[in-house]
Chains A and B, each alone.
Chain A
Amino acid sequence: MSTTRTRHWRREKFLPYLLLAPALVLLAGMIYPFALGLYYSFTSYWLQYPNRFRFVWLDNYVNLMEEPLFVRALEFTLGFTLAAVVIQVGLGLGVALFLHGRVPGRSVLRALMLLPLMIPPVITALMWKIMMASTNAGILNYMLSFIGIDPVNWFGSINGAIASVLIIDTWGNLPFVALILLGGLQALPTEPYEAARVDGAGPVDILRYVTLPLLSPFIVLVVLFRTMDSLRIFDVIYATTAGGPNDATTNLHIMAYQYSFQWYQMGKGMAQAIVLLLLVVVVSYLLMRLWNRASESTS
Chain B
Amino acid sequence: MTSQAVPYPRSVAAVPYRRTVQNVAIAAAAVLLLVWTVFPFFWILLTSLKSPGDMLSVPPKFVFTPTIDNYAALVIGEQRGQYSSTRPDFPLFFLNSMIISLGAVALSVLAGIPAAYALARFTFPMKNGLAFILMSFRFVPFIAFVIPLYILYQRVGLYNTHAGLIFAYQLITLPFTIWMLRSFFMEIPLEIQEAAKIDGCSWFGVLAKVILPLSMPGIAVTVILGFMFCWNAFNYPLMLAGRQTFPVTVGAIQFISYEQVLWGQMAAATIVAALPQLVLSLMVQKYIVRGLTMGAVK
Contacts and interface: CB of A to CB of B under 8 A. Distances in A.
Interface string A212-255: 00000010010001001101101100110000000000001100
A142 B57 CA distance: 12
Interface string A96-136: 00100111110001011111111111110011101101011
Q: Is the interface of A mostly helix, strand, loop or mixed?
A: helix
A20 interface: yes
Interface string B251-282: 01100000000010011011001100110111
A190 interface: no
Q: Is the interface of B mostly helix, strand, loop or mixed?
A: helix
A8 B58 contact: no
B245 interface: no
A36 B141 contact: no
Contacts of B59: 136, 142
Interface string B134-157: 101111111111011111100000
Interface residues of B, number: 91
B55 A127 contact: no
Given A118-B281, A175-B37, 5 more contacts: A23-B111, A27-B174, A130-B270, A179-B288, A184-B297
17 contacts: A19-B115, A20-B118, A23-B174, A109-B30, A109-B37, A115-B37, A115-B41, A120-B233, A122-B252, A127-B40, A130-B43, A180-B293, A183-B289, A234-B141, A273-B143, A280-B140, A284-B136
B228 A118 contact: yes
B5 interface: no
A98 B22 CA distance: 12
Contact of B147 (A37, A112, A115, A121): A37
Chain A interface size, under 10 / 10 to 19 / 20 to 34 / 35 or more? 35 or more
Interface of B: 26-27, 29-30, 33-34, 36-38, 40-41, 43-44, 47, 55-60, 107, 110-112, 114-115, 117-119, 122, 124, 127, 130, 133-134, 136-145, 147-152, 167, 170-171, 174, 178, 197, 200, 202-203, 228, 231-235, 238-239, 248-249, 252-253, 263, 266-267, 269-270, 273-274, 277-278, 280-282, 285, 288-289, 292-293, 296-297
A5 B42 CA distance: 62
Given A119-B232, A142-B59, A266 B151 contact: yes
Q: Which one of A20, A136, A225 has the greatest number of beta carbons of chain B within 10 Å?
A: A20
B197 to A, nearest CB: 8
A108 to B, nearest CB: 8
A229 B232 CA distance: 14
Interface of A: 1, 4-5, 8, 11-13, 15-20, 22-27, 29-30, 33-34, 36-37, 40, 47, 95, 98, 101-105, 109, 111-123, 126-128, 130-131, 133, 135-139, 142, 171, 175-176, 179-180, 183-184, 218, 221, 225, 228-229, 231-232, 234-235, 238-239, 252-253, 256-257, 260-261, 266, 269-270, 272-274, 276-277, 280-281, 284
A253 B141 contact: yes
Nearest to A107: B285
A30 B145 CA distance: 8
A19 B159 CA distance: 30
A46 B127 CA distance: 40
B274 A136 contact: no
B207 to A, nearest CB: 9
